[in-house]
Amino acid sequence: MPANRPSKLLLEIAPVWAKDIYRDDLPDKRIGQLESKEDCLIGESYGFDAGYGVDTIDPTMSSEFCKTCNNYGYKIWDHALRGGLREDMGRARRAAEAFTRHFDRVHRKKKGAAS
Query: Would you tell me which residues interact with Zn ion (CB under 5 A)?
Result: 66, 68-69
Dihedral angle computed from the Cα positions of residues 73, 101, 111 and 60, in that order, rounded to the nearest 10 degrees: -10
The minimum distance between CB 102 and Zn ion, in angstroms, equals 6
- Nearer to Zn ion by Cβ, of 66 and 76: the residue is 66
The minimum distance between CB 26 and Zn ion, in angstroms, equals 24
- Neighbour-count burial for 23-53, b at 16+ CB within 10 Å, e otherwise: eeebeeebbebbeebbbbbbbbbbeebbbbb
- Nearer to Zn ion by Cβ, of 36 and 68: the residue is 68
The minimum distance between CB 107 and Zn ion, in angstroms, equals 6
- Count the neighbouring beta carbons within 10 Å of the beta carbon of residue 15: 12
- Nearer to Zn ion by Cβ, of 7 and 68: the residue is 68
- Position with the least CB separation from Zn ion: 66
